[in-house]
Amino acid sequence: MKSDVSKKTSAAKPRAPGPTRAGGECLCGAVAFEIGVPARWTWHDHSSAARRAHGAAYATYVGTWASRFRFLRGEDNLTRYEDPERGGTRSFCSTCGTPVLFQRNKQNVNVPRALFSTGVGREARYHIGIDQLQEWTYQGERLSPLKGFPGVVWNRKRKSAP
Ligand SMILES: [Zn+2]
């Protein structure tokens, strides 16, 4: 790269000061990792595979280059599941079961957004499999306190039948 080009680029888009790494861990803490920020991208995966692998309405992933990902501890505590039908390898903590990695190839690493304790430098602005969004997923409906149950809120209105 020519030096005048890089100077021009850095003058036009000054890099915001901030953390250069983002870390996370599984529920029990046996597995911990960090990535370089900003992450490559962040997205919601509504596919049935992601839903089942996470036991959740959908999974939100942070994608990074494998070269910008490293384990801080516990890599040997992971159990791997290679999905013969849909492809890809899912790794989860052998102690607590937390999904930690989803990989489709060696170059990219996808980590559940929920495992990070800080920002990753990318908003989750993309959706995969939005046609598989479940009708039981919370989608921002108005909620009210449930009488007699402090801290519990609920959707008073029934959804109209499809
Ligand atoms: Zn764990």
Instruction: For 83-104, write each residue's pLDDT tens digit.
Output: 999 999 999 999 999 999 999 9
CATH (domain of 34):
2.170.150.70
The reported pTM is: 0.83
Inside any domain, residue 64: yes
Residue 7 belongs to what H/E stretch? helix 3-12
How many angstroms is it from 96 CA to the middle of ligand 1?
4
Which residues, given as ranges, of the chain have pLDDT below 70?
Answer: 1-17, 159-162
Q: Give residue 3's pLDDT.
A: 47
Inside any domain, residue 45: yes
How many angstroms is it from 24 CA to the middle of ligand 1?
11
Question: Do the bridges between strand 89-93 and strand 99-103 make them parallel or antiparallel, or are there none, so unpaired?
Answer: antiparallel
How many angstroms is it from 78 CA to the middle of ligand 1?
9
Inside any domain, residue 118: yes
Neighbours of ion ligand 1 (CB under 5 A): 26, 28, 30, 93, 95-96
- Note down the domain range covering 113: 18-133
CB atoms within 10 A of CB 150: 7
The residue to which tokens 């790269």 are assigned: 1
The residue to which tokens 């990318």 are assigned: 122
How many angstroms is it from 81 CA to the middle of ligand 1?
16
3-class SS of residue 34: strand
